[in-house]
Amino acid sequence: MNADLSLYLVTDAALCGDRGVVATVREAVAGGVAIVQLRDKDASDAQTVDLLVELSHAIAGRALLVVNDRLQAAVDARSRGARVDGVHLGQSDASVRAAREALGPDALIGLTANTPAHLDAVRALPPGTVDYVGIGVIRPTSTKPDHPPALGVAGFRTLAALSPVPAVAIGGIGIDDVTALREAGAAGVAVVSALCAVEDPHAAARAFRRAWRGQRPPRVLSIAGSDPSGGAGIQADLKAIAANGGYGMAAITALTAQNTRGVRGVHVPPADFLRAQLDAVADDIEIDAVKIGMLADAEVIRTVGDWLAARRPDTVVLDPVMVSTSGDRLLDSDAEAALLDLASHADLLTPNLDELAVLSGCRVGDWPEALAAAQQVAARTGALVLAKGGHLAGDQTPDALVGADGVIVEHRGARIDTTSTHGTGCSLSSALATLSARGKDWPEAVAGAREWLRESLRAAGTLDVGRGNGPVSHLAGLWQRGALETRPSPDDVRDAWWVSIAEVRADIDALPFIRALADGTLGRDRFLGYLAQDALYLREYARVLAEAARLAPSTQEQAFWAQSAQGAIAGELELHASWLTPDTGTSATTFSAEPSAVNTAYLDHLRAAAFSGDHAVLIAAALPCFWLYTDLGVRLHAGSSGSMR
């Protein structure tokens, strides 16, 4: 059997604690475990068979299930209707030939092999007798007290190179070992403690899965309709996936004849052909994430649900295409019911307000009602819901990530003035699936996808596609950052901008205050008055920088802006401590508690930029202060007053 051995959970009842084996397995499989081995030396054969049956139902085909040592238990559980895929045997357990005989050619038979002689013996067996070997221990582990001597990664590498079948590493493995073991030739890592003895097996499994994937672009499969105009459907999905760093694939659920002015016709191929597309991809390519878009009828929806039940990838985003832009219901009641069932397979749902109303059965007339409906859907389906405010009236377009307990994160922002909004829903959900598959948690993925989509909307007008509602410019960011032509480096661009504001900077140098500061003639009270204004400015500036941190699309940028905000408020406190206190002779006239007119105007400008909800606009407004202050400070400090003309 050609199995996905990448993340292999071996159970241990004691380590699973109060949560129990079944719940641990269910959570770990939902997080991406590909194969489960039931291992319990203390259980009776009957107990083992019972637990195999229970695990088979809990896993429901989303992972492979094998049993440790007990070949007969596998046979007995199968006779009770359980799906038991195979058995793992040690050197002193039943023979692998007997196991292959008992379980058949399609079973998964694993064998422990810790020496070259063990591997020679595997090579001597009839081909196909053993599907994989378990090689360990990588390091000592208390989980199996009678473990053989530790091999280390190097020792594993040597043995794996001798193995005629895929080799799974086992014994004392943690998340930090994954990359090295994969590079050492492992077909997968088998772990007990690192998945059983943790608070959150789902999160631990996802972390292992991401570590196993490494830095390669995630493989993201779009399951959606085709829009020949390129603005929506799988065409938009593939562009959105690529723009966010993924490798896009697409299984087509329906063919449409449409352009930017509307849909002329829809053709739905047989559902079994969709299943054939899905299986063809999954049989050959490890799928990291799936984005589900237009599903035309109940049969197509159930086909996707059955496929997910059998081959669920780590991340599933469902964009429930149920209501057209003009408000028409696109699905019959049977299909709507099937889509609600499908929603329980998803990690994230991305309905627009009309679809949210259908999914929740609630009225969604304003943003608070949208948030309440999203929470209700999240509670009912177990998926997170991204409530999208794009269809709201007014100039704000909020988005909110909502779970069963309420709003997790909310983004506000001014509506971007464009009619080129065709395919925004498709594009956003594909970006979310890709960013999640790249390892971002959902709040990070929402921030990043929203920032990318706003950039694509801002640039959409430049595409000039069609005479109706045009598409967003999915690759605008890449084009602007020089993916298409040899563009100046960011430093060159910065220097060009710096030169272009030379006049402005000369005017600043010529200001009486700057000149007096430079030649030492500035009066003390005047200076203290300035410091008092600066203190008032810094207090507000810190809030603006904190908003930049909140909107930042990456954790690195978030850290930079948060540190800058902290620095601004620390500067303000320092000014008060060192200059703006009565014992420094500050006279009442200089110690203004109100910002001056200039200070107020500048702060209003910054606050407007901050609360536009647009990260790019905000940092364009905030950065001149960084650059000009640094430039002036350096030149004044250097005493290069001569260059201050």
Ligand X SMILES: Cc1ncc(COP(=O)(O)OP(=O)(O)O)c(N)n1
CA–CA separation, 191 and 158 (whole Å) = 20
CB neighbour list of residue 633: distance below 8 Å, 6 or more residues apart: none
CA–CA separation, 638 and 589 (whole Å) = 31
For the bound state, the minimum distance from the C-beta of residue 106 to ligand X, rounded and expressed in Å, comes to 19
CB neighbour list of residue 225: distance below 8 Å, 6 or more residues apart: 233, 234, 252, 253, 254, 255, 256, 266, 293, 294, 296
Catalytic residue among 260, 421, 586, 590: 421
The footprint of Mg ion on residues 111-170 (CB under 5 A) is none
Tokens standing for 529?
């008055």
The footprint of Mg ion on residues 74-93 (CB under 5 A) is 90, 93
Check residue 340 for interaction with ligand X (CB under 6 A): no
For β-strands 86-89 and 64-68, DSSP reports them as parallel
> Could you tell me which stretch among 136-144, 281-289, 372-380, 452-460 binds ligand TZP (CB under 6 A)?
136-144
For the chain, give me the number of helices (H) and strands (E)?
A: 26, 17
Is the separation of the CB atoms in 194 and 222 below 8 Å?
Answer: no
Q: Is 421 among the residues known to form the active site?
A: yes
Q: Compare residues 90 and 461 and give the one whose CB is closer to ligand TZP.
A: 90
| CA angle 58–63–68, rounded 5-degree value | 85
- Which positions from 436 to 475 touch ligand X by CB under 6 A, shown as an x/- string? ----------------------------------------
Cβ burial of 329 (10 Å; 0-12, 13-18, 19+) is middle
For the bound state, the minimum distance from the C-beta of residue 193 to ligand X, rounded and expressed in Å, comes to 14
DSSP 526-566: HHHHHHHHHHHHHHHHHHHHHHHHHH-SSHHHHHHHHHHHH
Partner touching 137 among Mg ion, ligand X, ligand TZP, none, CB below 5 to 8 Å by kind: ligand TZP
The phi, psi pair for 133, rounded to 5°, reads: -120, 150
Check residue 144 for interaction with ligand TZP (CB under 6 A): yes
Catalytic residue among 136, 225, 425, 613: 425
- Which positions from 112 to 151 touch ligand X by CB under 6 A, shown as an x/- string? x---------------------x-x-------x-------
User: Is 143 annotated among the ligand-binding residues?
Assistant: yes
Tell me how far apart the 2 most distant CA atoms of the chain are, in Å.
Answer: 98
Tokens standing for 351?
């309905």
Nearest to 443, CA basis, from 391, 396, 399: 399
Tokens standing for 48?
């083992």
Amino acid at 596: S
Partner touching 191 among Mg ion, ligand TZP, ligand X, none, CB below 5 to 8 Å by kind: ligand TZP
CA–CA separation, 246 and 438 (whole Å) = 8
Tell me, rounded to whole angstroms, the distance of Cα 31 from its chain centroid. 13
Q: Is 423 among the residues known to form the active site?
A: yes
Query: Coil, helix or strand for 115?
Result: coil
The footprint of ligand TZP on residues 498-537 (CB under 6 A) is none
Is the separation of the CB atoms in 541 and 568 below 8 Å?
Answer: yes
The footprint of ligand TZP on residues 1-60 (CB under 6 A) is 10, 39
For the bound state, the minimum distance from the C-beta of residue 95 to ligand TZP, rounded and expressed in Å, comes to 19
CB neighbour list of residue 573: distance below 8 Å, 6 or more residues apart: none
For the bound state, the minimum distance from the C-beta of residue 148 to ligand X, rounded and expressed in Å, comes to 8
- Residue of 110, 172, 246, 613 interacting with ligand X (CB under 6 A): 110
Q: Compare residues 10 and 340 and give the one whose CB is closer to ligand X.
A: 10
User: Is 41 annotated among the ligand-binding residues?
Assistant: yes
Partner touching 553 among Mg ion, ligand TZP, ligand X, none, CB below 5 to 8 Å by kind: none
Size of the site for Mg ion (CB under 5 A): 3
The footprint of ligand X on residues 6-45 (CB under 6 A) is 8, 10, 37, 39
Is the separation of the CB atoms in 418 and 460 below 8 Å?
Answer: yes
The footprint of ligand TZP on residues 183-202 (CB under 6 A) is 191-194
User: Is 314 annotated among the ligand-binding residues?
Assistant: no
For β-strands 384-388 and 399-403, DSSP reports them as antiparallel
For the bound state, the minimum distance from the C-beta of residue 206 to ligand X, rounded and expressed in Å, comes to 21
Partner touching 430 among Mg ion, ligand X, ligand TZP, none, CB below 5 to 8 Å by kind: none
Size of the site for ligand X (CB under 6 A): 17
Is the separation of the CB atoms in 31 and 203 below 8 Å?
Answer: yes
CA–CA separation, 397 and 243 (whole Å) = 22
Catalytic residue among 253, 256, 315, 424: 424
Check residue 621 for interaction with ligand X (CB under 6 A): no
CA–CA separation, 568 and 353 (whole Å) = 40
Q: Compare residues 68 and 381 and give the one whose CB is closer to ligand X.
A: 68
Tokens standing for 456?
């694509």
Q: Is 434 among the residues known to form the active site?
A: no
Q: Is 521 among the residues known to form the active site?
A: no
User: Is 69 annotated among the ligand-binding residues?
Assistant: yes
Size of the site for ligand TZP (CB under 6 A): 16
User: Is 177 annotated among the ligand-binding residues?
Assistant: no
Catalytic residue among 32, 110, 225, 388: 388
Check residue 69 for interaction with Mg ion (CB under 5 A): yes
Is the separation of the CB atoms in 352 and 382 below 8 Å?
Answer: no
User: Is 144 annotated among the ligand-binding residues?
Assistant: yes
Query: Coil, helix or strand for 431?
Result: helix
Partner touching 48 among ligand TZP, Mg ion, ligand X, none, CB below 5 to 8 Å by kind: none
Amino acid at 374: A
Check residue 114 for interaction with ligand TZP (CB under 6 A): no
> Could you tell me which stretch among 51-59, 171-179, 352-360, 521-529 binds ligand TZP (CB under 6 A)?
171-179
Tell me, rounded to whole angstroms, the distance of Cα 407 from its chain centroid. 18
Residue ranges in contact with ligand X by CB under 6 A: 8, 10, 37, 39, 68-69, 88, 90, 93, 110, 112, 134, 136, 144, 168, 170, 190
Extract the annotated binding site: 37-41, 68-69, 93, 112, 141-144, 172, 192-193
Extract the annotated binding site for Mg(2+): 69, 93
Residue ranges in contact with ligand TZP by CB under 6 A: 10, 39, 136-137, 141, 143-144, 147, 170-173, 191-194
Residue ranges in contact with Mg ion by CB under 5 A: 69, 90, 93
